[in-house]
Structure 1
Amino acid sequence: MYAIFFNTTGVKTVVPLEPGKTINSTWYTESCLPLVTKAINLQRPDTGLRGTFLHHVNANSHTSKMTRQFIEESGLHILLHLPYSPDLAPCHFWPFPRITKYLKGRNFSSNSELEGALRKVIGDINEKEFQGLFKLGLNE
């Protein structure tokens, strides 16, 4: 399992979940969010996290007190997901189907080989495609 964080310019970070572990607030706030904030700060040295929104679904790791506290302290903002609407998450329409299609039917001898293939497929997605995802449903 991997958590993939992206914005209009591409993938910001990919965070693997250790085999046998589960997604929880501690993993999300201590392993994922610091990497995301670091990547954004590196990309935007003048503005940092100002004006940055995370799209969160209603998963426990996204709504926990620990996560909310991290978000508040870091200055991030949350773009809430409609409750009971898992089919409306943009990542379910793209890029996850593209990644799944690329990886489907392939066997990997190690987690690092799988991660390499994952990084290759997401690395092949150009910036215009990421920008298009965020324009879906918007009137221009």
Structure 2
Amino acid sequence: MTPKKVMGNYCWSSAGVIHHSFLPNGMSITSDVYCEELNTIMGMPARLQPALVNRSAPLLLHDNARPHTAQQTVSKLQELGLEVLRHPPYSPYFAPTDFHFFQKLDNFLAGKKFNTREAVQNAFEEFVASRPAEFFKKGINKLPLRWQKCIDSMRTYFE
């Protein structure tokens, strides 16, 4: 039987997807899981993502989900020397993954049916491979404009 949900963890930059993983059936993203993902990402050779080595460490932007804000995660971020941009309480306006990446992924997957986890994983990888080089850069570059739009709208909802 195919699960109704396949949980995944995705990390991307202006250069593209850095890392992705799919969790085993029934598993959720917890602080333990997120900290292991951070270890994996930081253990990747710089040659895999040369665009990230312009800084001493990647600058992270993630939402305020519990696994991202738990004390264990905060400690792991400090241990790894990672800086995190502050994120207001649930604000999809500031999460490029929500307003850019997942919006396009949803469109790509619209109407498709998957019978296996592998089919879901293959579809995700097909989506990533189908994005032009500019796609990821555009998503990151929209962020300052969205910040300004939020400030101008005095934090009211906008599209």
The TM-score range, normalised by the shorter chain, is 0.7 to 0.9
Q: Please, which of 39, 52, 58 is the counterpart of residue 34 of structure 1?
A: 39
Residues 1:136 and 2:123 aligned together: no
Give the TM-score taking structure 2 as reference length.
0.76
- CA positional deviation for 1:27: 0.9
Quick check: which has more Rg, 1 or 2? Answer: 2
The amino acid across from 1:97 in the alignment is: Q
User: Relative to 1, partners in 2 of residues 1:93 and 1:70: Cα closer, same or farther, differing over 3 Å?
Assistant: same
User: Is structure 2 residue 61 aligned with structure 1 residue 55?
Assistant: yes
Report the equivalent of 1:123.
129
What SS class does the counterpart of residue 28 from structure 2 fall into?
Answer: coil
What is the number of residues matched between the two proteins?
138
CA RMSD in angstroms comes to: 2.3
Structure 1 residues 59-138: aligned runs within 5 Å? 59-136=65-142, 138=144
1:7 matched residue in structure 2:
13
Give unmatched runs, 5+ long, in structure 2.
1-6, 146-159
Q: TM-score, normalised by structure 1?
A: 0.85
Deviation at residue 89 of structure 1 after TM alignment: 1.7
Name stretches of at least 5 consecutive residues in structure 1 with no aligned partner: none
CA positional deviation for 1:128: 1.3
The match for 1:23 is 29
Indicate conservation of the 8 Å contact 2:15/2:51, yes or no: no
For 2:86 and 2:11, the matched residues in 1 are separated by: 16
- Partners of 2:137 and 2:52 lie apart in 1 by 21
Residue identity opposite 1:92 in structure 2 = D
Q: Letter of the aligned partner of 2:80 in structure 1?
A: S
One-letter code aligned to 1:124: S
Segment drifting more, 49-58 vs 32-41? 32-41
Report deviation, 1:99: 0.8
Shift of 1:79: 1.0
Task: Return the alpha-carbon distance in structure 2 between the equivalents of residues 45 and 98 of structure 1.
Answer: 23
Identify if the C-alpha distance between structure 1 residues 40 and 124 changes in structure 2 by more than 3 Å, giving closer, same or farther: farther
Alpha-carbon separation, structure 1, partners of 2:55 and 2:32? 21
Q: Percent of counterpart pairs with the same letter?
A: 26
The 1:35/1:84 distance shift into structure 2, 3 A limit, reads: same
